[in-house]
A and B are shown apart, each in its own frame.
Chain A
Amino acid sequence: MSGTSTEYLLLLTAVTAGVTFLLRALPFLFFGTGKRPPALVLSIGNVLSPAAIAMLVVYCFTCYVRDRAPADHMFGLAEIAAAVVVVSLQLWKRNPLLSILAGTAVYMTLVQTVVP
């Protein structure tokens, strides 16, 4: 199946929208009647998000190294430099848009000029 076949795109749209809606609806489905959620669900629910986002960061970085030898991407130098820019700016200015734009600009400049 080609990545851009209409069937795949329709399925992808439906699946992502459906799963996202279900997640949003979960508390209303289970606890809409006034029951308190079980303690385990609440405690895992509260801590899962930072763990999952950290995992996604690692996943993104592995995607950059996936198909290339370490020397070909300067041992991740561009990725690390851009990530440092993003995190420092966010810690300093607390402006998500600024951090993302600046980090992406640094990364694009590096991969288009310095790093082959």
Chain B
Amino acid sequence: MNQKPVLKQAFVSSLPVLMGYSTMGFAAGVLLAAKSGVRLPALWAFLTSATSISGALQFMLVDWIRTAQPMLDVVLLTVCLNIRYSMYGLSLIERFRGLPLAKKLYLIWSLTDETYALEVENKVPPGGDSILYCLTLAALNHCYWIFGVVSGAFAGAALPFPNKGIDFAMTALFLVILTDQCRERKNRVYAAVGLLASVVCALIFGAGKMLIPSMVLMLSALIVFRKPFGRLETWKPGAGS
């Protein structure tokens, strides 16, 4: 059948992402040009945004470039930032089964928070090709992200402005993600575990060396105490036990 309605619907579904990615990407691009100290910021904005397609990572990269963060830290932090992606595929395994390898690899590679949400929603017109819908969505969102980051890098390099403190955008992004996660009661328990573990490790090991011990402490606590934590998920103050 004619697949034009599928392409059209994919474009319509992607419009909110266009708004989000072009502005958020722009901020990350400006930050890269302003703070990383890299030459040719637009080139690196393009390479990093096109290959990773990850918002929080794009912000973190600026700091890593500026301080030449050791690669082990980079790997661990990337895992921390993006571990949620490793859950997304679980709900798409069936739909992507048996696809040609290139299509499957692209669909996995392009699986951002927003693309995942739209693919699960799957508003494909009746009789339309769901894979074509997913591929179109993924490619559009991918382009929006690259466009946002690269244009931000150009703007940041062309128009220097008093940018002291602009790096707070990354902290703000994490705070927003955390705030939204904590709307769910059960997530509050685990956010508190992460908070406690990392504050303890920051006090013991110092600000610069806290990450690896925090991850170890956090993971061990989550595994060892998973049953008590599970009971806490539904605990209400004052309701008794």
Which residues from chain A sit less than 8 Å from chain B, CB to CB? 1-4, 8-9, 11-17, 19-21, 23-28, 31-32, 37, 40, 43-63, 65-66, 78-79, 82-83, 86-87, 90-91, 94, 96-97, 99-101, 103-104, 107-112
Contacts and interface: CB of A to CB of B under 8 A. Distances in A.
Task: Determine the main DSSP class of B at the interface with A.
Answer: helix
Contacts of A53: 174, 177-178, 181, 191, 194
Task: Determine the main DSSP class of A at the interface with B.
Answer: helix
A110 B80 CA distance: 30
B52 A55 contact: no
Interface in B44-71: 44, 47-48, 51-54, 56-57, 61, 63-68, 71
A83 B90 contact: no
Interface of B: 20, 23-24, 27, 36-39, 44, 47-48, 51-54, 56-57, 61, 63-68, 71, 74-75, 77-90, 93, 96-97, 104, 108-109, 111, 162-166, 168-182, 186-195, 197-199, 202, 207-208, 210-211, 214-215, 218-219, 222-223, 226, 229-230
A37 B89 CA distance: 12
A40 B89 contact: no
Contacts of A51: 190-191, 193-194, 197, 218, 222
A94 to B, nearest CB: 8
A85 to B, nearest CB: 9
B181 A50 contact: yes
5 contacts: A12-B61, A19-B82, A28-B93, A58-B210, A103-B168
